[in-house]
Structure 1
Amino acid sequence: MSKFFIFLTFIFFINSYSQRNTLRGEGLGVSNVSDKSQKKVKDTTSYEKAPIDLYKIYTLQKDTTYVDTSLTIKSEYMYNLLRKDIFGLLPFANEGHTYNSLDFALSSKNAMPSFGFKAKHFNYLEATDIKYYNVPTPLTDLYFKTVMEQGQALDAFLTVNTKPNLNFSIAYRGLRSLGKYVNNLTSSGNFRFTSSYYTIDKRYFLNAHFTGQDISNQENGGIVNLQEFETSEDPFNERERIKVYFTDATSLLKGNRFFVDHSFKLNKENPNSLVFTHQFNQEYKFFEFTQPTVNERFGDTYTNKISNKTRYNHLYNKFGVAYKTKSYGDLEFFIDDNNYNYYYNSVVYDINGNITVPNSVSDRINMIGGNYTYLINKINVRLHTSQSITDQSISNIEASANYKLNDDYNFQFKYQKLNSLPNLNFTLYQSGYIDYNWFNNFKNEKLNQFEFSAQTKLLNVSATYKVLNDYLFFDNQTNNITELTVKPIQYDKTINYLSVKANKEIKFWKLALDNTILYQSVEQSDDIVNVPQIVTRNTLYFTDYVFKKAMLLQTGVTFQYFSKYYANDYNPLIGEFYVQNETKIGGFPMFDFFINARVRQARIFLKAEHFNSAWTGYDFYSAPNYPYRDFIVRFGLVWNFFR
């Protein structure tokens, strides 16, 4: 965490230096940004602020938004470690540990095999999660939030345009939280650096980033005796007195990535022109589980201490040529090269000396495909298709249409047909625990998915329908929570999944009631995809200006609930959730009381989380033997600095 404070000091120094330069009419004055803002600097001591919509944020898909310093109910929902609305995710007791998925529609899959260890990746920023910026003056974003015990969550970000066409950003997210239970410390760091550039004639565009991330969790395996938690009588109301399975186990996910996406337009004069594109991604990561004292819960071992380390190297190149027109849309053809090596430093032999589990899975996959985008009237159509040209039989077809009638009515439809390779930890895994060694040759997973969403003045609604074949999952072979022999399984039957989510905010005077409800249904021969039928979140809140309109105040109560179901349980050894059909969780209410305020660009948050925990019974769990959070008061802020 000391690295973070050094970084924070650096940001304040750069920000204050930029402010002094701007006030003097030097360096990054607003006059460098655009024609409509060139005359805002009136002299060397007085100036007008740049409009907020000039502080742009965009993704690789060129979806563009701008910096939002408002205080709305969405600000409340996004005030968490992931900095996004986590409706459909159920956090574990300690900040930054993991999340159980209540909304199966949130799960996604790529045609290419991923590293796996999905339970450890919620706080891991993928290449598509990185944002790029273009700002008229230096912009700083500071996030702070208290945690459960002995630590804090901090996220500091700075972006600056040294020229109108050249942007840099640097950010670091740091977390340390001891937690309330034994052996439950979380510690993580997410460093990212981005750069964006385009030539004055706008023929060449470049977006690049570097990330260095490490996510460390002490793993206690959950509580041993549920009665100790559910009675919560002295001394077990002090959570460190409750017995847990492991007292010295730790997991670590660490990765570095360098990413470049750039394009060059052949003809600068003609709007109908060829554009050459290239994308490069080089990433190394590993997942490590260490346990100095072996535990019989995972079965017999090869050694007297556990140190499992899974490594992954990934090199990706994508080359494309696009023809962009004003009248007929944009057409692109591409070929990509996906080279990966997933490996260990050992092999596993049987009693006859034959290798049963190799040390690596390596492959090189080439795909060809195309993209087409066309805007006709108010309908934006996008088509994507890709197919492997090497030995692997994988493919992806996507189609979407977006119809925006006006600012009040927007409709979207998506379809995807995917034939994908299994994640690599389904294929190969090695461990000091004998039962956790496997090498499989699974079939490809097949997915057909339909999505529809409508945003209207009356109601926001979205629906997802999935048809899954050859679905892969982890399953406990013992059907006993005290003995975990979890292995990957492929389901040979069809699974049909349907979800419908609706959202509506009702406003009256200075009061508002924001409602979100999710309905889910699964058709399957066996209980493989288990989901709660109903998930709901309802917030009643009051908003008004106080102190002669110097402060905007927002206060209210949020109610959350999901129906009982056989929730997936968490296995820290493999960093994955597994299917179980012995213990149901859910059916408990969660009430949060919050008071938020906004003073200029500073937003202050105070929340009493799960304040009803002692009144409604200690039967609340995030997974079958992992308790949800007790009542806790937390506070913090988000502060933006301009100039």
Structure 2
Amino acid sequence: MKKVIVFIVLVLSFTVGVAQVQPQRNTDRTPRAAQNRKLPADQAKNQADQIVIQDYKIITLDRDTTFLDTTLSVKKEYKYNYLRKDNFELLPFSNLGQTYNSLALASPSDNFYPGLGARAKHFNYMEVEDINYYHVPTPMTDLFFKTTMEQGQLLDAFITLNTSRQFNMAIAYKGLRSLGKYQHILASTGNFRFITSYASKDKRYNLRMHFTSQDILNEENGGIANRDQFESGNPEFVDRSRMDVNFENAENFLLGKRYFLDQEYVIVENKENNPDHSFTLGHRLNYETKYYEFRQDSQDSYFGEAFQSSGLNDRARLKSFSNQIRLDYKSRLLGNITVSNSVYAYNYYFNSIVVTQDQTIPNQMKGEDYSYGAEWTKKIGGFYLNAEVGASVYGDLGGNLFKGSAGYVFDNENEIAATIKSVSASPDFNFLLYQSDYKDYNWDNRSDFNTEKNKSLSVDFKTKRFGSLNASYSVIDDYTYFYQEPATVDETFQVKPLQYQNTINYLKVKYTKDLKFGKFGLYNTVMYQEVAQDDEVLNVPQLVTRNTFYFSDHVFKKAMFLQTGITFKYFTEYKANAYSPLLGEFYVQDQEQIGNFPMLDFFINAKVRQTRIYLKAEHFNSSFSGYNFYSAPDYPYRDFIIRFGLVWNFFS
């Protein structure tokens, strides 16, 4: 503890000293990078003055453009975590790099093709839409560092540069290693990204590409074996490494590589002699290989009987290839109209054929699926309208999508929007076909499961004065989930897929408001949920709240911006899903409720120039509010720990 405090004081003292010796005006507007070039003094000064932080542009897959944000706020505090995004609707496990339990049902994806499965392993897996593209006047670096739970570090290093106004490239790697407090829960992950984009001088041809290689390794122990060791508060077991766990000889692993290309060429350009029309031909290609593996040195009765006593190894593989051609027409009168044709080729397979007493489990699902799509977007003053349809017309996966939205932007701080959405999608491949060295984890449901159908209506209302409100209502049919067979609850953990035959109605309302009182503030996020169903297959807490009381001010003659406060998070009791390390999935259970415990964090954050420094005492109330805090059955939530780190942006 003393070493941590001394380190933070030294870092703060050093950065403040540097800031006081060389103060920089307009910190968030004018990077001094251009001044380092070998130019005449006057020319260098003029060039530096012309570059502002808004010139460092970040472009999403949908071509929405923002700029680098180096400010320090409560929202930044919420995003300073392993996922680097607000995890309000997630409940982390005890070790960094483990999975997360869900406190709410995520919105259905617009993609109606199935994934590999092992969804509990994908929280840190970066999908196509998670990769951004960049346009910067000078090289820009983003360094993210944070301490972990035990014997390890978390680092995300990123650098991007434009070799010319037309060509940008970026390279990044996020690496984690954390031993954890309990026995056999080591987490080791890596996310490598190489990103490039190009635009011709006449802006008629645009190209974006990226390559990712991602690996997520977790040692698995099945959770604690003796609840009394944890819940009694016995000082002997305050050292969590002394606690008994279910097993210490298993691990699961997810590896994925992706090659992505998106290009377009303007056939008919919108020029002065033809101001009303333009045609653009687009092409998008995505090839991805992925496998999920569960390894165990010897058979364990926790999962039941196995075909062999040692060297157990389950590996599911998926190779997918998506190729899309699209034509985009822009008109001042009609808006933007896009039509597309796509082919999706897949190969999901195992390296064996399993024969059981009941059936023969094949080793492969392979085929092609063809689909068509169309999208329309129109803006009229502050109003905007959008409609999108997509449907599979040939193939065995058979999904479709319809989405319509309308909104009105009053100004930069006030907006209202409504969206209606209908998605029909095949369950993930591991619901349909799976093989394992454990006998009870082999199934073939290809002819039994239907596509899952989700219809939803959502409304978003964002205002500076009244806060932000998001409300959604969903109707779900043929909901697919994993469940634990009741007959074996007290014996083994046999988990199987199931499809619910009745309708589920799901309501979610989330409200956010930041209240300011001079230098003090109270940032509130409250979520209410209600589920109407005949059986308890979709379980979420009724109420989740997070409230942060904080103080913000400039110190050291405004050389540093300081923000400190306390965050309170709470959710009501509910029958949370349990975790299966064999499948890398969560499953429905009806034996135990978790929740109804407070989580209090104290933080001190500071900003000097483009460096943000973070110090947090996480769950500091754990020792005096009772040892009944769980992330999932048999998996305790995190104990009190102090962690620190920084985010550093610098410009060349």
2:615 aligned residue: 606
1:322 and 2:335 are equivalent in the alignment:
no
1:337 counterpart letter in structure 2? V
1:357 and 2:372 are equivalent in the alignment:
no
Change (3 A) 1:578 1:445: same
User: What's the CA shift string for 1:11-39, capped at 9, x where partnerless?
Assistant: xxxxxxx999862347xx9xxxxxxxxxx
Give the TM-score of the pair, scaled to structure 1: 0.93
Aligned counterparts of 1:424 and 1:433: Cα–Cα separation in 2: 18
Greater shift in the superposed pair: 361-370 or 402-411:
402-411
| 1:326-475 alignment runs, 5 A limit | 326-350=332-356, 356-392=360-396, 393-441=398-446, 442-456=449-463, 457-475=465-483
1:496 aligned residue: 505
Aligned counterparts of 2:589 and 2:416: Cα–Cα separation in 1: 38
1:102 aligned residue: 103
Q: Residues 105 and 499 of structure 1 are in contact (CA less than 8 Å); yes or no, is this contact kept in structure 2?
A: no
Q: Residues 32 and 48 of structure 2 are in contact (CA less than 8 Å); yes or no, is this contact kept in structure 1?
A: no
Aligned residues: 612
1:285 and 2:290 are equivalent in the alignment:
yes
Ranges in structure 2 where 5+ consecutive residues have no aligned partner: 1-30
Please state how far the C-alpha of 1:395 moved relative to its aligned partner.
Answer: 1.1
Please state how far the C-alpha of 1:350 moved relative to its aligned partner.
Answer: 3.5
1:331 counterpart letter in structure 2? I
Q: Residues 273 and 323 of structure 1 are in contact (CA less than 8 Å); yes or no, is this contact kept in structure 2?
A: yes
Change (3 A) 1:44 1:567: closer
Aligned counterparts of 1:47 and 1:394: Cα–Cα separation in 2: 52
Q: Secondary structure at the match of 1:247?
A: coil
Alignment partner for residue 476 of structure 1, among 464, 473, 484? 484
Alignment partner for residue 533 of structure 2, among 515, 524, 527? 524
Aligned counterparts of 1:371 and 1:21: Cα–Cα separation in 2: 42
Alignment partner for residue 37 of structure 2, among 24, 32, 35? 24
2:567 counterpart letter in structure 1? T
1:174 aligned residue: 175
Aligned counterparts of 1:263 and 1:164: Cα–Cα separation in 2: 18
Aligned counterparts of 1:500 and 1:139: Cα–Cα separation in 2: 39
Q: Residues 34 and 138 of structure 2 are in contact (CA less than 8 Å); yes or no, is this contact kept in structure 1?
A: no
Q: Residues 25 and 44 of structure 1 are in contact (CA less than 8 Å); yes or no, is this contact kept in structure 2?
A: no
Q: Residues 603 and 615 of structure 2 are in contact (CA less than 8 Å); yes or no, is this contact kept in structure 1?
A: yes
| 1:218-237 alignment runs, 5 A limit | 218-237=219-238
Change (3 A) 1:398 1:109: closer
Q: Residues 388 and 395 of structure 1 are in contact (CA less than 8 Å); yes or no, is this contact kept in structure 2?
A: yes
Aligned counterparts of 1:152 and 1:41: Cα–Cα separation in 2: 44
Aligned counterparts of 2:258 and 2:172: Cα–Cα separation in 1: 15
Q: Secondary structure at the match of 1:264?
A: strand
1:209 counterpart letter in structure 2? H
2:517 aligned residue: 508
User: What's the CA shift string for 1:174-207, capped at 9, x where partnerless?
Assistant: 0000000000000000000100111111111111
User: What's the CA shift string for 1:368-426, capped at 9, x where partnerless?
Assistant: 11011111111111111011110443211011122101123101111111111111000
Aligned counterparts of 1:85 and 1:184: Cα–Cα separation in 2: 24
Q: Residues 25 and 41 of structure 1 are in contact (CA less than 8 Å); yes or no, is this contact kept in structure 2?
A: no
Aligned counterparts of 1:449 and 1:480: Cα–Cα separation in 2: 35
Aligned counterparts of 2:554 and 2:107: Cα–Cα separation in 1: 37
Aligned counterparts of 2:452 and 2:633: Cα–Cα separation in 1: 28
Aligned counterparts of 1:237 and 1:429: Cα–Cα separation in 2: 40
| 1:75-114 alignment runs, 5 A limit | 75-106=76-107, 108=109, 110-114=111-115
Q: Secondary structure at the match of 1:163?
A: coil
Q: Secondary structure at the match of 2:228?
A: helix
Q: Secondary structure at the match of 2:229?
A: helix
Aligned counterparts of 1:149 and 1:228: Cα–Cα separation in 2: 21
1:119 and 2:120 are equivalent in the alignment:
yes
Q: Secondary structure at the match of 1:426?
A: helix
Alignment partner for residue 294 of structure 1, among 299, 314, 318? 299
Q: Secondary structure at the match of 2:594?
A: coil
1:342 counterpart letter in structure 2? Y
Q: Secondary structure at the match of 2:49?
A: coil
Q: Residues 368 and 395 of structure 2 are in contact (CA less than 8 Å); yes or no, is this contact kept in structure 1?
A: no
Q: Residues 367 and 395 of structure 2 are in contact (CA less than 8 Å); yes or no, is this contact kept in structure 1?
A: no
User: What's the CA shift string for 1:73-109, capped at 9, x where partnerless?
Assistant: 0110000011111111000000010000001145646
User: What's the CA shift string for 1:197-238, capped at 9, x where partnerless?
Assistant: 111111111111000000000011100111110113132111
Alignment partner for residue 593 of structure 2, among 565, 568, 584? 584
Q: Residues 41 and 47 of structure 1 are in contact (CA less than 8 Å); yes or no, is this contact kept in structure 2?
A: no
1:637 counterpart letter in structure 2? L
Aligned counterparts of 1:204 and 1:620: Cα–Cα separation in 2: 55
Please state how far the C-alpha of 1:326 moved relative to its aligned partner.
Answer: 2.7
1:14 aligned residue: none
1:378 counterpart letter in structure 2? G
Q: Secondary structure at the match of 1:75?
A: helix
Q: Residues 254 and 293 of structure 2 are in contact (CA less than 8 Å); yes or no, is this contact kept in structure 1?
A: yes
Aligned counterparts of 1:101 and 1:382: Cα–Cα separation in 2: 30
Change (3 A) 1:481 1:266: farther
Q: Residues 472 and 488 of structure 1 are in contact (CA less than 8 Å); yes or no, is this contact kept in structure 2?
A: yes
1:6 aligned residue: none
